[in-house]
Amino acid sequence: MLSGALSRPSLKHLISTCGDPHTLAQIHALMILTGSLSHPQSPGRLIAAYARLGDIAAAQSVFKTTSFPNVSTWNALIIAQSRHNSPAEVLRLYHLMLSDGRVRPDSSTFTVALKACAQLLNLETAEEIKSHAFVSGYEHDVFVCSSLLNLYVKCGKMDEAMKLFDEMPKRDIVSWTTMITGFVNVGRPLKAIGVYRKMQAESMEGDEIVMVGLIQACVAVGDVRMGRSIHGHMVRCCMKMDVVMETSLVNMYAKNGSLELAHLIFEQMPCKNVVSWSALISGYAQNGLASDALQMLVKMQECGLQPDSVALVSALLACSQIGFLKLGKTIHGYIEKRLEFDRILGTAVIDMYSKCGCLSSAHSLFSRVRLRDSISWNAMIASYGAHGRGKEALSIFLQMSETGLEPDHATFASLLSAFSHSGLVEEGRYWFDLMLQKFGIEPAEKHYACMVDLLARAGHVEEAHELIKSMVIKPGIAVWVALLSGCHKHKKLELGEYVAGKVLELNPDDLGIHALVSNVYAAGKKWDKVVEERKAMKKMGMRKVPGYSLVEVNGKLHAFLVEDKTHPQYEKIMEMLERLDYEMRKLGYIPKTEFVFHDLEEDVKERILCNHSERLAIAFGLLNTSPGTRIVIIKNLRVCLDCHDATKYFSKIVNREIVVRDVKRFHHFKDGVCSCGDYW
């Protein structure tokens, strides 16, 4: 009775619509019984159906029991492996098919095989497949050519891709999309937008996937207005929103800092996968909203999703920003248990340990992670630099060179910055020259800024000035401020006033820079200018970022603002600070009130110094940890000279190691001295 119902057209229909493996197996059995498997198209259909339901083993077994597989049978299995994301298996089957010799690959076969090459970045095999496809008459096949385009794009060969694209007699939406996303992915978003315009000019309308590419292009060029208009276009055209499109929109708004909007779109997504979550988490983390990022990570887990490495990298970035070592360690443990370390994860963990003050953990992980690229090396160089260990930074740099990796502009920025944090003048001069002469890297503003800082701070103010004069590019504010700082430190007042003028020309919106300018004028007794600067600062002071310090105690983060009286332990903290103040005055401490920029009486200024947020944080740390425990403080501003001085005394009086990370670098205080050697 059943066999009567299973005439061929309905069998075909049954196979292609069958939704569960059990029914499919029954159909399969019937096909064997009725002999309908001998129909030339049957094995292929059955293989495709098994593959669609995810049963790759059953698909393989159908293939094996087919005595003379034809092209559609071969293709079905090859496509099944491609969908199963096994590109190497695709290529193996492709070669097996060739050596079998009884069938000739067709357009589908070549297309899928080329896709596999693109996934494996295997150009060599691709060239072989390409020539085979071309002599087989598929030179102008739009599928084969699009696959080739994609291959070139994925291998970064945009010139080859462009050449092929121009030669294609027929292009469809996929060929255009491949070029658009290709240019986005090689970092040429403007070119991608140009290709889209050309596509429109040829009366081809973009579809959903094209829009995703364009959104990425907008993210890359930071063009919010265009991004919004594409979003509008998508809505106007009633495009079918799916999780990928929504995720790229969330990402676009998040990257651009419109986190409310990003969050709104995210909330309204009917289906959220790990990638959407990660896009939002990275948006928060990259905009400095560390606690929001970490809250989203928790929510993601509450929704039953396991964070992937991308989400964890963003979470680690958030931990680094706020110095949340406890959580960073937990995430590290999670990675060790459940994931594999790739370069990016490795670098993120290294960076986290370093920024949370644990340089030795950073280095031991660095030695363990074998997959290193220039970014991983650079992270380690920068870590040693930030902790004031310039010699070690150089040694890492030399090790990197030995591996054959070429240093780039970022590597030199980290290296020169490391020298400047350690006052390694000779090394700085030597490597700065070699950067251009041996490595062919033109120094950029950031490199000059490091060198000027290094030279000027070490007293070579004239040499630093000469270096600025020799610059081909226009010196920016960073360079002039570095020189000004040196002038101030070494009492080069005449030059200082000239440089102060240069700095002011560039309209600095940083309170610290105005303070420096004001101090330079004050040293030169230019009182009218001082008054002017103070006025400017008072205006800015209204909207300046308040200083805060973070300290982790017993796995919890505690934040302190300047003069924070709301803290439950405020009384005890003040008692501790008064005791320390008494002790350090006995040892010779004198408050440096010039670092309080208000018109106040001296004793009030001293009181404010005592209330600087890092002092509250240090006192709180001392009160709530056992003797001998190291204390790590994270500051959002530079540590002031007075607090720097006071912390040295604290470390001696209480016999503790105190680590302070300010916006510029790390200070390790121990036995009354700081690792920076007062060179900062």
Site for DNA in 210-229 (CB under 7 A): 210, 212-213, 216, 219
Nearest-angstrom CA–CA distance, 298 and 304: 10
The Cα 483–Cα 477 span in angstroms is 10
Give one DSSP letter per residue of 465-501, joined into a string: HHHHHT-SSPP-HHHHHHHHHHHHHTT-HHHHHHHHH
Dist CA 549 CA 636 (whole Å)? 7
3-state secondary structure of 553: strand
- For the bound state, the minimum distance from the C-beta of residue 345 to DNA, rounded and expressed in Å, comes to 6
Cβ distance to DNA smaller for residue 359 or 640: 359
Binding mask 11-40 for DNA (x = CB under 7 A): -----x------------------------
Sole window of 19-27, 375-383, 465-473, 519-527 interacting with DNA (rule: CB under 7 A): 375-383
Chain CA centroid to CA 136, Å: 45
Residue 73 interacts with DNA (CB under 7 A): yes or no: no
Work out whether 70 is an interface residue with DNA (CB under 7 A). Answer: no
Answer for which of 226, 344, 405, 562 binds DNA (CB under 7 A) is: 344
> Closest approach of Cβ 435 to DNA, in Å?
22
| Piece in contact with DNA (CB under 7 A), picked from 56-64, 267-275, 437-445, 591-599 | 267-275
Whole-angstrom distance, CA of residue 540 vs CA of residue 210? 46
Nearest distance in Å: CB 559, DNA = 23
Stretch that binds DNA, among 18-26, 177-185, 435-443, 616-624 (CB under 7 A): 177-185
Among 42, 66, 73, 278, binds DNA (CB under 7 A): 278
The piece of 56-64, 94-102, 337-345, 423-431 that touches DNA (CB under 7 A) is 337-345
Residue 106 binding DNA, by CB under 7 A: yes
Beta carbons within 10 angstroms of residue 19's beta carbon? 8
Contacting range for DNA; rule: CB under 7 A; set: 20-28, 312-320, 581-589, 602-610: 312-320
* 122 touches DNA (CB under 7 A): no
Report how far residue 379's alpha carbon sits from residue 376's, in angstroms, rounded to the nearest whole number: 5
Residue in 174, 396, 461, 487 binding DNA, rule: CB under 7 A: 174
Q: How far is the CB of 618 from DNA (least distance, A)?
A: 28
Residue 216: closest CA among 263, 241, 249 = 249
Contact stretch for DNA (CB under 7 A) within 188-196, 206-214, 414-422, 573-581? 206-214
User: Is the distance from CB of 144 to CB of 110 less than 8 angstroms?
Assistant: yes
- Closer by beta carbon to DNA, 147 or else 411: 147
**Which is it for strands 631-635 and 548-553: parallel, antiparallel or unpaired?**
antiparallel
- Quick check: helix, strand or coil at residue 559? strand
Q: How far is the CB of 445 from DNA (least distance, A)?
A: 21
Binding to DNA (CB under 7 A): which residues in 467-506? none
Number of neighbouring beta carbons within 10 Å of residue 335? 20
Q: Are 515 and 537 in contact (CB under 8 A)?
A: yes
Binding mask 82-101 for DNA (x = CB under 7 A): xx------------------
Residue 181 found at the interface with DNA (CB under 7 A): yes
Nearest to 184 by CA among 224, 213, 206, 146: 213
Scanning 94-102, 336-344, 453-461, 486-494 for contacts with DNA by CB under 7 A, the matching segment is 336-344
Q: Does 55 bind DNA (CB under 7 A)?
A: no
255 binds DNA (CB under 7 A): yes
* Position 247 contacts DNA (CB under 7 A): yes
Q: Does 242 bind DNA (CB under 7 A)?
A: yes
Question: Could you give the CA distance from residue 190 to residue 22 in angstroms, rounded to a whole number?
Answer: 52
Restricted to residues 315-334, the positions that interact with DNA (CB under 7 A) are 317
For the chain, the residue count is 680
Sign of the C-alpha dihedral, residues 620, 621, 625, 628? Answer: negative
153 near 181, Cβ under 8 Å?
Answer: yes
For 35-46, letters b (16+ CB in 10 Å) and e give ebbeeeebbbbb
Distance between CA 191 and CA 179 in Å, rounded? 9
Please give the size of the binding site for DNA, defined by CB under 7 A. 74
User: For residues 531-550, which are near DNA according to CB under 7 A?
Assistant: none
635 three-state secondary structure: strand
Stretch of 22-30, 273-281, 549-557, 559-567 lying at the interface with DNA (CB under 7 A): 273-281
Give 91 or 311: the residue with its C-beta nearer to DNA: 311
- Does 276 interact with DNA (rule: CB under 7 A)? yes
What's the rounded Cα separation, in Å, for the pair 415 and 618?
A: 31
What residues numbered 576-615 form the site for DNA, per CB under 7 A? Answer: none
Per CB under 7 A, 417 contacts DNA: no
132-171 binders of DNA (CB under 7 A): 141-143, 146-147, 150
Contact 280, 273 (CB under 8 A): no
Q: Point out which span in 281-289, 295-303, 481-489, 495-503 binds DNA (CB under 7 A).
A: 281-289
Report the C-alpha gap between 199 and 43 in whole angstroms. Answer: 41
Tell me the C-alpha distance between 596 and 111, whole Å: 70
In the bound state with DNA, the residue whose beta carbon lies nearer, of 112 and 451, is: 112
- Considering only residues 377 to 416 of the shown chain, the ones binding DNA according to CB under 7 A are 379
**Residue where the block lists tokens 């290294």:** 350
Residue 112 contacts DNA per CB under 7 A: yes
Report CA dihedral (395, 397, 460, 502) to the nearest 10 degrees. -150
CB of 262 to DNA, least distance (A): 11
Contact (Cβ atoms closer than 8 angstroms) between residue 167 and residue 145: no
Closest to DNA by CB, 346 vs 443, is 346
Q: Which stretch binds DNA (CB under 7 A): 120-128, 243-251, 481-489, 532-540?
A: 243-251
* Min CB(586)–DNA separation in Å: 45
Using CA atoms, how far residue 89 sits from 47, 60, 77, in Å, is: 16, 12, 10
Q: In 3D, which of 158, 71, 52 has the Cα closest to residue 110? A: 71
Q: Pick between residue 16 and residue 131 the one whose CB is nearest to DNA.
A: 16
The answer to whether residue 667 forms part of the interface with DNA (CB under 7 A) is: no
